[in-house]
Amino acid sequence: MKKVIPILVSSAIITAPLLADTTFVSGSVSGVWDTSGSPYVIIDTVVVDSAETLVIMPDVEIILEADIKVQTSDRNYGFILAIGDVENPINFAGNGNTITDLPWNELRILFGEFRYCYFDSINFYLGADVYNCVFQNSDFSDYPGYAELWDGFLVMDCIFKNTPISGALTMFNSLIYGDTISIYAGVATASNGGILLNYCTLIGKGTVEGSYAGMMTMSIASVVNSVIIEDSVIEFGDYSSESNCIHRTYGEILYEPFFIDPIAEDFHLSDSSAAIGAGDTFRVPDHDLDGNPRPNPLGSMPDLGCYENPRAYPAAISETEKPAQFAIRAYPNPFNSAVNIRISGIGYRVSDLEIFDIKGRMVANIPVEAQRAAPAGRARSARTNETVVWTPDKPLGSGIYLVRVKESNATTRIIYIK
């Protein structure tokens, strides 16, 4: 069974005392790096020269000091092969500083293959096939602070946490999530690039003013059998979407995916998720990010996103009617006098909108027209679209408030600035 390594915070190898067998590395390299010389501390630019290969063995630790690069030859096809395993991954760790001339090229690999590797606090540029790897914390600069991936290479069974991604991507069975401080959060592609995301889960938020969150494309994006949620998902360019469970706080709402526990970073589908069995057979992998078979159970349709739920159909959903599912968009957000709250979804009409402060106290209850969207027996319930305006009472202070649809777990945060 294929497995993806869990996320661990590997930055501890930066601050731990260097071992007696520490190897300091610079200049041209090739051959084999194994545990007998680990950790390998890169103290100056390292290059794998023309027609040479560097093989990195399981359980090796590689520490990149500031303002240096590990790279293959730009023109002569040096090759790096880093093959860890599920029990003994390879660790790449940086110190969180950017490089002054090319900030995204701290780890610059134009030709290579990586399996079961951790990349922590490293900006990188990869022209490589990447499998079962974890990338985290590459968001330490406002711009660019991200992973750039070359066209023609495959990314499969990977996790990107707090690591915006750029480039021309072909990605399967991967999870992209986390609040980032980069101007680009989630996935971006340049004007000459293109994206194919298939069976992926994308939860992206940017925290820089004017940032692009979720997915930003200035060329072509094809997203299939995936779950995309959170802030502005698509900006600019040509975009095609098929069989996706898209929940946006900006733009069209299809379905709330209903993860098991997104606060605890558990993005597996709950048994009631409409994403269960909603995929198609377009280039479907034979496993999910956990290594479980896809589809599961055998003979069913695959689920959307990077994880399979063992159910063939969502719980408590009959052939004739789907349960109420709502999503909320608030605008402007932040606001200083009044905020428009738009509720979109499928199922029953909304009866109440509740607003809570950060201590969980209800500060407002806004009645909304109560009406069933479609009678029992209809093939599909009608769509709900309601907009209400909330003007906070004068005693309420500035801060973060939570808006909730009473009939569901659909929520969103709003920021009130007096």
Residue 182 and residue 140 in contact, taking contact as beta carbons nearer than 8 Å: no
Between CA 176 and CA 161 the distance in angstroms is 6
Bond prior to 257 in cis (omega within 30° of 0): no
Mean of the pLDDT values across residues 195-199?
82
Highest mean predicted confidence (pLDDT) among 26-35, 39-48, 338-347:
26-35
With a cut of 70, say whether residue 404 has pLDDT above it: yes
Between CA 333 and CA 416 the distance in angstroms is 8
Token output for 232: 């502005």
Bond prior to 262 in cis (omega within 30° of 0): no
Find tokens 């969180």 and name the residue.
Answer: 96
Token output for 291: 């290594």
Q: Could you give the C-alpha distances from 165 to 183, 221, 278, in angstroms and in order?
A: 11, 14, 26
Please name which of 108, 111, 139 lies closest in space to residue 125, comparing C-alpha atoms: 108
Question: Virtual CA dihedral for 8, 11, 15, 19, nearest 10 degrees?
Answer: 70
* Of 137 and 109, the one with more pLDDT: 137
| Per-state percent for the chain, helix, strand, coil, to nearest 5 | 5, 45, 55
Q: Could you give the C-alpha distances from 175 to 52, 73, 133, 208, 302, in angstroms and in order?
A: 33, 30, 11, 22, 17
Mean of the pLDDT values across residues 185-209?
62
Contacts of 7 (CB under 8 A, 6+ apart): 134, 136, 159, 161
Instruction: Domain 325-416: give its CATH code.
Output: 2.60.40.1930
Which of these CATH numbers, 1.10.760, 3.30.70, 2.160.20, 2.40.170, describes 12-267?
Answer: 2.160.20
Please name which of 115, 146, 110, 104 lies closest in space to residue 128, comparing C-alpha atoms: 110
Determine how many CB atoms are found less than 10 A away from the CB of residue 415.
15
Between CA 152 and CA 46 the distance in angstroms is 25
Convert the pLDDT of each residue in 216-228 to its tens digit. 444 556 778 888 8
Between CA 322 and CA 223 the distance in angstroms is 24
Strand partners, 114: 82, 130
Find tokens 């990314």 and name the residue.
Answer: 155
Mean of the pLDDT values across residues 71-97?
77
With a cut of 50, say whether residue 183 has pLDDT above it: no
Domains of the chain by residue range: 12-267, 325-416
Q: Can you give the length of the chain in residues? A: 418
* Of 124 and 82, the one with more pLDDT: 82
pLDDT band for position 366 (50/70/90)?
confident
Between CA 78 and CA 186 the distance in angstroms is 30
Please name which of 99, 97, 45, 98 lies closest in space to residue 72, comparing C-alpha atoms: 45
- For the chain, the distance separating the N- and C-terminal CA atoms, rounded to the nearest angstrom, is 55
Query: Would strands 266-269 and 352-356 be described as parallel, antiparallel, or unpaired?
Result: unpaired
Angle (CA) 23-113-36 rounded to 5° is 25
Please name which of 91, 88, 90, 94 lies closest in space to residue 106, comparing C-alpha atoms: 94
Convert the pLDDT of each residue in 296-317 to its tens digit. 998 899 999 999 999 988 875 4
Residue 130 and residue 50 in contact, taking contact as beta carbons nearer than 8 Å: no
With a cut of 50, say whether residue 293 has pLDDT above it: yes
**Residue 10: what pLDDT?**
37
With a cut of 70, say whether residue 36 has pLDDT above it: yes
Residue 221 and residue 240 in contact, taking contact as beta carbons nearer than 8 Å: yes
